[in-house]
Amino acid sequence: MGVHSFIVGCSGLVLNTEERDFYRDFNPWGFILFKRNIDTPDQVRALTAEMRACVGRDDAPVLIDQEGGRVQRLGPPHWPKYPSGRELGEIYLQDAVKGRELCRLNSLKMAHDLLQLGINVDCLPVLDVPVKGAHDVIGDRAYSYDAEVVAVLGRAAAEGLLAGGVLPVIKHIPGHGRSGADSHHTLPIVTASRKKLEAQDFLPFKALADMPAAMSAHVVFKSIDGDNPATTSRKIIRTIIRSKIGFDGLLMSDDLSMKALTGTFRERTEACFSAGIDVGLHCNGNIDEMRAVAESTPLLAGKARRRAETALARIRHRVEPL
């Protein structure tokens, strides 16, 4: 059976019978973990191993959002509390060389934490560039208000993950920092001109266009496509992400269960693939929603399969020691 182009989570600390059967029936490309799935190191290792056993692929990607600061799925007492992107950015402003190296080492340490648990993909770095007055959904998750600083530290973070054997996912392409709303709850609409977007919001993504994977933004950019958020906009994916930014890596959606998107889960899923997304992402572990997404998801084939294989090939099997 072929691999389906989606990533899903699970409801708890262990898989239940329904989840095991679902994974075996639909063979998702990958999995994602959240705090509800995290207890002890041994428990997480057992969970990631069982996920992979269900699909019969030892290299199946297991993702997590381990940014540091307020978005950190692994934390004390078993794992360190990591600094936020903004804290790293403030160090960089005091000493650029020290700040960049600390950012890289911070991600290298994160990668070592993750790899010991069977997690091989981190949804980091955040390349969004916030503006004054924007919603705090990004806030201190961003390295700086300066797009150039975001690009420098974003690359340092990505390099640290890669050196530690973990695949980075740049997010939220082509930019979520200017949004006035939280896309978890409502659809953000950005009215800035394309010229302004290219000068600031898109800049870090263009600087890191060589990265293996990216996560889309559920944001409407009125100056480019007034009707659809980037995730479901064929125009934004083709003319901005693939062309202007020049990103040819694996493009995954942000969470399809977020309220920024409308319609049934079948409609959301079909819309994102029709627009040009390579892999759909569903996070909340709701089995009925997962099934609707799976039934609307194509097999991983063509350019999407090439991009997925190329991304996984970037994972180093011999990691840099701390």
In a domain, 295, yes or no: yes
Cα 104 to Cα 156: distance, rounded to the nearest angstrom: 5
pLDDT band at 185 (very low <50, low <70, confident <90, very high): confident
In a domain, 223, yes or no: yes
Condensed to tens digits (0 to 9), the pLDDT of residues 14-68 reads 999 999 999 999 999 999 999 999 999 999 999 999 999 999 999 999 999 999 9
Cα 49 to Cα 78: distance, rounded to the nearest angstrom: 19
List Cα–Cα distances, 291 to 21, 198, 201, in angstroms.
11, 38, 35
In a domain, 272, yes or no: yes
Condensed to tens digits (0 to 9), the pLDDT of residues 188-222 reads 899 999 999 999 999 999 999 999 999 999 999 99
Question: Where in the sequence numbering do the catalytic residues fall?
Answer: 184, 254
Condensed to tens digits (0 to 9), the pLDDT of residues 22-36 reads 999 999 999 999 999
In a domain, 18, yes or no: yes
Is it the case that residue 183 has pLDDT exceeding 80? no
| Host domain of residue 136 | 4-313
Is it the case that residue 186 has pLDDT exceeding 90? no
Backbone torsion region of residue 43, taken as left when φ is above 0, otherwise alpha when ψ lies between -120 and 50, otherwise beta: alpha
In the beta sheet, which residues pair with residue 278? none
Kindly report the average pLDDT of the chain as a whole number: 96
In a domain, 208, yes or no: yes
pLDDT, residue 179, reads 84
Is it the case that residue 135 has pLDDT exceeding 90? no
Q: What DSSP character marks residue 320?
A: P
In a domain, 319, yes or no: no
pLDDT, residue 110, reads 98
pLDDT, residue 138, reads 93
pLDDT, residue 58, reads 95
In a domain, 129, yes or no: yes
In the beta sheet, which residues pair with residue 30? 7
In a domain, 79, yes or no: yes
pLDDT, residue 133, reads 80
pLDDT, residue 190, reads 94
Residue 96's domain is classified under what CATH number?
Answer: 3.20.20.300
pLDDT, residue 322, reads 84
Q: Is 15 helix (H, G, I), strand (E, B) or coil?
A: coil
Domains in the chain, number: 1
